[in-house]
A = this chain, B = another copy of it.
Amino acid sequence: MPTIAKGYAATDASKPLSPFTFERRDPNPEDVVIEIKYVGICHTDIHSARNEWKNAVYPMVPGHEIAGVVTAVGSEVRKFKVGDRVGVGCFVDSCVGCASRDLDNEQYMPGLVLTYNAVEADGKTATQGGYSDHIVVKEGYVLSIPDNLPLDAAAPLLCAGVTLYSPLRHWHAGPGKKVAIIGMGGLGHMGVKLGSAMGADITVLSQSLSKKEDGLKLGAKEYYATSDATTFEKLARSFDLVLCTVSAEIDWNAYLNLLKVDGTMVLLGVPEHAIPVHAFSLIPARRSLAGSLIGSIKETQEMLDFCGKHRIVSEIEKIKIQEVNEAFDRVLKSDVRYRFVIDMASLA
């Protein structure tokens, strides 16, 4: 029998999120039922709820930084049992039957089923996210959260964490590598923690120095204000890797010029407009502009295990579900240090 789920949904691009009741499927043999304890607020939740990417389907229950506890498992589930501490990230299914299936890159494959604002593999059932009391997810898309990490502060690892972990690993951040993180927000502060734990030399490039103390405390070696034009002169040709966590319109070519020979700048946020790249920003130093999207399930578990080993979680501000609309507005003003996490006990 399907179960009744309670949550908060967007019903329209311009209306606040409001209480919403819907059905979760009767668990299949390979499904895990999870009581959601905490869910992080990702900027994508706001883009989606407000239809900024023009693909919203309402009602929509956002939330893809889910941390909770297993309450039931299907007959074929082998990796999880009732009581396990688990997480769910940005997707809940992928191209399982596809010939070109690549477990290292499933997030880039067609057939990915996002955790919300998407349609299940059955082609009809809408997926609904973590701003809700429980969720039913195939075993293969459920992650183990290490015992030593608090569930509330671990929730943002499921998206913000892996969004930074994956490019840091893919472009070989580690000892001897100079990495710049543009933006000291929900994503950026995770880049500082993860990159420094990997042994890379991390520099934060933020609009102002207002979060400098935090940045250095979390592991950055240097911290520069991008509002100061001399920053771009001082740091020219300095970095192996620049990770851009902001989606604002910035002076892209000035940032590209911060890369060494063979350096790469990686887009993690999605700016509204096309990025005007001058060929002369790339050619004379064999630089690259790349993009990266979350991580595979395998890599997400690897990231969680790495976080367990290094005791890394997000810096969070915990709120009640009733405060979600105010939190959305505060995210847009960068008024959070550094990630809102909704305590789903407040739903009751």
Residues on A lying within 8 angstroms of B by beta carbon are: 102, 105, 108-109, 170, 253, 261-262, 264, 267-271, 274-293
Contacts and interface: CB of A to CB of B under 8 A. Distances in A.
Contacts of A262: 105
A102 B260 CA distance: 12
Nearest to A282: B291
B289 A277 contact: yes
B288 A290 contact: yes
Contacts of A275: 276-279
Given A267-B283, A277-B277, A282-B289, 14 more contacts: A105-B262, A108-B284, A109-B261, A267-B279, A267-B282, A274-B276, A274-B277, A274-B278, A275-B278, A276-B276, A281-B291, A285-B291, A287-B290, A289-B290
Contacts of A253: 274
A286 B170 contact: yes
A54 B253 CA distance: 19
Nearest to A286: B292
Contacts of A269: 279
What 7 pairs between A and B have smallest CB-CB spacing?
A282-B291, A283-B291, A274-B276, A288-B290, A288-B288, A108-B261, A270-B279
A105 B284 CA distance: 11
Among A109, A269, A278: residue with most chain B CB under 10 A: A278
Nearest to A285: B108
Nearest to A109: B261
Given A276-B274, A277-B274, A293 B283 contact: yes
Nearest to A261: B108
A270 B264 CA distance: 19
A78 B280 CA distance: 37
A105 B261 contact: yes
A269 B271 CA distance: 26
24 contacts: A102-B261, A105-B262, A253-B274, A264-B288, A267-B282, A268-B283, A269-B279, A270-B280, A270-B283, A271-B279, A274-B277, A274-B278, A275-B278, A275-B279, A277-B277, A277-B289, A279-B291, A281-B291, A283-B292, A283-B293, A284-B291, A287-B291, A288-B290, A289-B289
Contacts of A291: 279, 281-287
Contacts of A277: 274-277, 289
A261 B293 CA distance: 11
Contacts of A283: 267-268, 270, 291-293
B286 A290 contact: yes
A271 to B, nearest CB: 6
Nearest to A277: B275
Contacts of A279: 267, 269-271, 275, 291
A292 B287 CA distance: 8
A54 B95 CA distance: 52
B286 A108 contact: yes
A202 to B, nearest CB: 22
Contacts of A270: 279-280, 283
